[in-house]
Copies of this chain bind each other. A is one copy, B any other.
Amino acid sequence: MSVLAVGTVAFDRIETPFGKRDRALGGSAMYITMASRFMCDDVRLVAVAGHDFPEEYIEDMRIRGIDLQGLEIKPDELTFAWGGRYHYDLNTRDTLYTDLNALSSFNPILPESYRNSKILCLGNLDPVIQNSVLSQVPNPSIVICDTMNYWIEHTPHQLKNILPKVDCLVVNYSEARELSGTANLVSAARIIQEMGPKIVVVKKGEHGALLFAEDTIFMVPAYPLEDIQDPTGAGDAFMGGFAGYLSGCNHINLDALKNALVHGSAIASFTVEHFGPEGLYDLTTADIERRIGAFRSLTAIPEAVHQQS
């Protein structure tokens, strides 16, 4: 099945304790599609860039099989640019700047060939834009949606308006708490499910991710890495891996969702080992499968050991 991701492409300035990058390729739509492509050969991107967006970055995506018909280049605008500085433990960051540029007037009109998309990933954007894309894809198999505290605080009505059309909400821990208005994660997921999405995925960064679906809870840890360079894009790559796995499933049932969560975590783990999207450039499906195996041994509870009487 096809995967369509709407979101951003961006110039990222990244500062971590281990290095810096300036004007690196970034953006949610880029990370989602670059992660989905390992499990899907029909990955479509919807985003906007400015005239300064380099041909080299377009090629970085095109040669990896991303369909870029939905990438609009605005000739009179600059590309969305973001800068962030991570703290020593990589768990928190300060935003240095957010220059919306071309993104401020983003109003995506999907190519006709995108309207039959099956796995619809709504990257973190104004819920009004997410709703517009929803209306242009009439028959998706699953709608997966990200959001952030900014939209929860500033456009709560618009956000709650689209949630009944969303099958799976992917949020981080603080977003789940803020959206639900409750601190307890299990209660928060139940409250969000009542808002519409029957599937709730809560990303906890280095502490892994939780899936709430069909009265079941499933948990996958983050892969324990000794060398983490840059967490930028890990959440979007997670969503891309999650979506990519589902694109290969005939039925999106609980087992498919659990495996999708593990694949998302595996791809996120490769992302953070390098700066920006570099960790996703030369990755192979064999690399991913090996890490899936490592996830299995990381969490598999052995049979109870023989006990003395």
Q: Give residues in A with beta carbon < 8 Å to B.
A: 1, 88-90, 177, 183-187, 190, 204, 206-208, 210, 216-221, 224-228, 248-251, 253, 255-256, 258-259, 262, 295-308
Chain B residues near A226 (CB, 8 Å)? Answer: 184, 186-187, 190
How often does this chain occur in the complex, in copies?
A: 2
Q: Residue of B at shortest CB range from A294?
A: B217
Asked if A301 and B250 sit within 8 Å, CB to CB, the answer is no
Q: Contact check, B204 vs A302: say whether CB atoms are below 8 A apart.
A: no
CA distance A268 to B205 in the complex (A): 23
Complex: how many Å from CA A302 to CA B295? 12
The answer to whether B305 touches A301, judged by C-beta atoms less than 8 angstroms apart, is no
Rounded to whole angstroms, the CA-CA distance of A210 and B224 in the bound complex is 10
With A88-B183, A221-B219: A299-B302 Cβ-Cβ less than 8 Å: no
* A248 CB contact (under 8 Å) in B184, B206, B307: B307
Among residues of B, the one whose C-beta sits closest to the C-beta of A204 is: B207
A246, chain B: closest CB distance, angstroms: 9
Chain B residues, CB < 8 A from A250 = 306, 308
Taking the nearest CB of chain B, how far is it from the CB of A275, in angstroms? 17
Give A307 to B295 CA distance when docked, in angstroms.
20
Distance, CA A248 to CA B305, complexed state (A): 9
Cα(A90)–Cα(B88), bound, Å: 25
B255 touches A302 (CB 8 A): yes
Tell whether, in the assembled complex, residue B308 and residue A183 are in contact, meaning their CB atoms are under 8 Å apart.
no
Residue contact B298 to A219, C-beta cutoff 8 Å: yes
- Starting from the known contacts A208-B221, A259-B302, 6 additional A-B residue pairs (CB-CB under 8 Å) come to A210-B224, A217-B224, A219-B224, A219-B298, A253-B305, A259-B304
**A262 to chain B: closest residue by CB:** B301
Q: Which residue of B lies closest to A249 (CB)?
A: B305
CA distance A89 to B178 in the complex (A): 12
A204 to B88 Cα, complex, angstroms: 19
11 contacts between A and B (CB under 8 A): A219-B221, A219-B224, A219-B299, A221-B221, A250-B306, A253-B305, A258-B301, A259-B304, A299-B300, A299-B301, A300-B300
Q: In the complex, which of the residues B88, B90, B216, B305 contacts A255, with contact meaning CB atoms closer than 8 Å?
A: B305
Minimum CB–CB distance from A85 to chain B (whole Å) comes to 15
The answer for the CA separation of A208 and B308 in the assembled complex, in Å, is: 28
A296 to B248, CA, bound (A): 26
Please, which residues of chain B bring their CB within 8 A of the CB of A225? 184, 186
Q: Contact between A89 and B183 (Cβ–Cβ < 8 Å)? A: yes
Question: Contacts A207-B204, A306-B250, A307-B249: A224 and B301 contacting too (C-beta < 8 A)?
Answer: no
> Which residue of the partner chain, among B1, B186, B296, B299, contacts A224 with CB atoms under 8 Å?
B186
Which residues of the partner chain B approach A216 to less than 8 Å between Cβ atoms?
A: 297
Residues from chain B with Cβ under 8 Å of A177 in the complex? 89
